[in-house]
Every structure is written in C-alpha cells, then in structure tokens.
Amino acid sequence: MSRKNKPWILNADCPSQLGTVDVVTRFLAESRNYVGEIHSFDDKEVNHFSMRVEFHPLDEDFDAEQFNQQFAERAAAFDMQWQLTAPDHKSRVAIMVSKYDHCLHDLLYHYRTGELAIEIPVIISNHPDLEDLAKWHGIPYHHLPITAETKPEQEKQVWELVQQYDCELVVLARYMQVLSDDLCEKLSGRAINIHHSLLPGFKGAKPYHQAWEKGVKLVGATAHYVNSDLDEGPIIAQGVQAVDHSHYPEDLVAKGQHIESLTLTRAVRYHIEKRVFLHGQRTVVFPD
C-alpha cells in the first residue's frame, strides 16, 4: 500500500456495554470517514471491550484535533479511552542488543526498506561488536558495558538515552541481560523482548544443544512485553517450526534464530500498527 493511501487508525477500549461498536462507527460515518477495516473483541473474563478501526477521510480538510474534540463528546458516555494515529506516523524505536545480530539485521532490513513504519534513532549494547553495523545504517551506537556492580548506573544511562531520543518503544533484539524491576516498570507496555520457545522448555546454557540431546520435535520463539517476570510478560506473537532427528544442534540454532527474527519483527509491526491491546497480563492482538 502506498503511503498516501495508508489509513488513519482509531483504537478504542472501554468497559463492556451495549452500543460500543455503534458509537464509533456512527461517528465515523457522520463525520464522513470511510471505514476500511474493523476489528473488535469483548473480553468476557474482565468485561472489557477493545476496538481497532482503519479509516480514510472523505474530506480533504480532515482535522485530527477537531476529530478528537468531537469524538470525546460521544466517548465520554462509555468511559472510553482512545488513540488516533496518523498515516504518516513513524514510531521512534530504541534497539538494545548484545552480540547476536540476527534479530537486529532483520529489524534494520525492514526499517531500511520502509516495511516497518519506524525511526531507529539509537542502538544500545553492552558489547562493542555491532557498532560497525549501526554505523553502516547511520544510527548512533552507544556501548554501555555492564557488570553486577555497575548495573544500576548502566540502566540509568539506558533510561536517559530512551528519553533523550524520545523513543516510544524499546526492542530487546537478543539483549542478553535481565532488566531490573525498576527499568521494567518504566518501560511497562512499551518494551518488547524475544526468546526461544523450545518444547519442552530448556533453560540455561546452550538450550538448543539440550533440546537436540532430548530429540526435540519443535523449535519456536516468543515475543512479549517486558515485565519483572523473566520471559513471562504478555505475549504478542509466537512462531514454531517442526524439526526431526536429521537436525543437528547447529541446524536447530539456525532455524531457531530465523524464527526469532521473524517473530520479533512481526511483534514490532503489530505494536506500531496499534494492533495490540493489553488486558492486565493478557493481550488482545488483532491480525492483519
């Protein structure tokens, strides 16, 4: 889809009640906005309604501020929260990485080709290894070494960079450090991590070698929001692939890294396209 044909996006959520779809779609119709795509979900477990709408204004003088002011009058009766995203909006994303480069390469490729509507103003790493890759893309690279003793100061620098570069999202593209509870809290709902999802689970050193020794038949990856529970944040996207006895440890590693790259990039796209709603520790993710 060409940029000029990209839609406006309206995200809305509120307590479950009669008329939630109608209040949104009726307003869009009356204000001459053509709905191209609509997804909604009523979460009966928590009595919460979520809705995502893509629309195209029929009037050339569409005014986002006026839209918000007028829609606020309708939404108030439903205790509805909403967000309007412009077609030309690009999310500012900080990438954190250690030495593994496969996820970073995939993100940079989709950024460079314009397939991800993002800006990457900074890459942060606890190792110097990938600085040349960042320089090739013209992106500032900040090498912030970390030890157990220096972790509080290092994370303070990380947070300062996120603020300095005005980043909406932080992506841990195989950043091999556990974030502190404090930094997890600051980045709540706007930091995405990726990790392998070997079935059954294998933790610790060389998980793919452990999996091979047990004859694992599935390899996969999970992308999720970061929280204080290690690798257990709300899930955004998952990928899986069947393997068999002919796959040696290095084959499992290669397949796992490929799935990690695809899954992380997909999760980032879902987030920036406003397809993800957080309901506590669960997510509602509307597909494309």
Hey, what domains does the chain have and what are their CATH numbers? 3-85 (3.30.70.260), 91-285 (3.40.50.170)
pLDDT digits (tens, 9 = 90+) for 226-250: 988 777 899 999 999 999 999 999 9
pTM, 2 dp: 0.93
Cα-Cα-Cα-Cα dihedral sign, residues 97, 102, 106, 109: positive
Give the pLDDT score at 263: 97
Sheet containing strand 235-242, edge to edge, reads 141-143, 118-125, 91-97, 169-172, 191-196, 218-225, 235-242
42, 43, 101, 231: the active-site residue = 231
CA distance 95 to 258: 18
Residues of the chain with pLDDT under 70: 1-4, 199
Cis preceding-peptide flag for 145 (omega within 30 of 0)? no
Give the pLDDT score at 42: 95
Give the pLDDT score at 53: 98
Active site residue 231: yes
Give the pLDDT score at 199: 65
Give the pLDDT score at 5: 82
DSSP run (H or E) holding 27 = helix 20-30
Question: CB under 8 Å to 131, separation ≥6 — which residues?
Answer: 125, 141, 143
As given in the structure block, the two tokens for residue 272 are 């920036």
pLDDT digits (tens, 9 = 90+) for 145-198: 999 999 999 999 999 999 999 999 999 999 999 999 999 999 999 999 999 887
As given in the structure block, the two tokens for residue 72 are 């606020």
CA distance 268 to 251: 26
Asked if 12 contacts 28 with a C-beta cutoff of 8 angstroms, the reply is no
